[in-house]
Amino acid sequence: MIEVNGVGVVSGDVTLLAPVSVTAQRGEALIVCGRNGTGKSTLLRVLAGVRKPSTGTARIGGEAVVERDRGFRRRVAAMIGLPPMAPDLTVLDHVTLVATTWLDDPGAAAPLARGVLAGLGLEALDERFPHELSSGQTQLFGLALVLARPFEVLILDEPEQRLDPEHLKSVSRVLRARRDGGATLVVATHSPVLEDELADRTLRLDAAA
């Protein structure tokens, strides 16, 4: 599903990502580990199509990564930083709206949204506005927005940020379920919990750099 061949990123004289090669199959989770500054987020940005590699190629589903391509957008979901949030919508409104735009049956959006929120332990917060959430709840909310849409590949940058151990377990459980359902996950993380519970393959960028 994912093929990365010698992908490296250089900005001026600075190497943001030393050339790396890795693959991940359908239904596998690729965990990307490494010290700060070794290029984890940069690799994720290349896979999400918002950063062009200086060297090498990246392909998803056998096709080149092109962010403007509708098929690619449908296939790949990404959360690298928090997604934009509308200040005038509640948590449930947000997630339902995202689901509504993807589903043919509008009536199915609200139950799907409630399911996603329940999976992440956010069901009690569904009537809150974004500015009423704590930083950890906002992180979970961002994940809920991404999980409310269909995808074949899910790219996440440090989803463990600001989460307590209990919610981290919830996230791990939800991501495992998505992986077992056939999605390919690419997760950059510093969390040993996520690595232990998710990893089918691990790419350590310390070594690569």
Partner 1 sequence: MSGRSRGAVGIWRARNARTPRDRAYLVYAVLMVGLVAIVPVARAVWLSATSEAGVAVFASPAAPGVAALVVAALWAGALLLGRDRGPAVLPPFLTHALATSDLPRSDPFLAPVLRAGALVIAVTTIASVLVGGSLLSHGLTDSLGVALFIAVGALVGVIATVAWLAGQAFPRTAIPVALGVLALGAVTAAVPLMQPFTPWGWVGLSYPGNGSPHVLAVLTALTAALTTAVPTLLNRLDLAGLSAQAARWESATTHAAGMDFGAAATVYQGRPHIGRRIRAIRPAGQLPLTFLIRDAIGATRTPGRLIVGVLAITSAGVLIALAFAPVTPGWLLGAAAGLLVFAGLGPLTDGIRHAASVTSDFPLYGISDERLLANHALFPLVTVAVVLLVAVILCSIIAGIGVAEPIVSSLTIGLLALIARVSNALKGSLPTALLTPIPTPMGDLSAAARITWALDAVLLAALAGTVGTLAFESPILLIGVTAALIGVGINRWRDRG
The reply to whether 164 sits near partner 1 by the rule CB under 8 A is no
CB 63 within 8 A of CB 72: yes
Of 54, 70, 121, 63, nearest to 91 by C-alpha is: 121
Structure tokens at 201: 């393959």
Question: How far is Cα of residue 204 from the mean position of the Cα atoms in its chain?
Answer: 18
Among the listed residues 7, 92, 116, 205, the single contact to partner 1 using CB under 8 A: 92
Minimal distance, residue 61 CB to partner 1, in Å = 15
Q: By C-beta, is 75 or 204 nearer to partner 1?
A: 75
Interface of this chain with partner 1, residues 19 to 58, rule: CB under 8 A: 48, 50
Of 144, 141, 168, 167, nearest to 154 by C-alpha is: 144
Q: By C-beta, is 67 or 180 nearer to partner 1?
A: 67
Structure tokens at 19: 């050339």
Q: By C-beta, is 62 or 107 nearer to partner 1?
A: 107
Instruction: State which H helix or E strand residue 11 sits in.
Output: strand 2-11
The reply to whether 120 sits near partner 1 by the rule CB under 8 A is no
The reply to whether 149 sits near partner 1 by the rule CB under 8 A is yes
* Rounded CA separation 147/78 (Å): 10
Chain positions contacting partner 1, by CB under 8 A: 48, 50, 67, 70, 73-74, 76-80, 83-90, 92-93, 96-98, 100-103, 106-107, 109-110, 127-129, 131, 145-146, 149-150
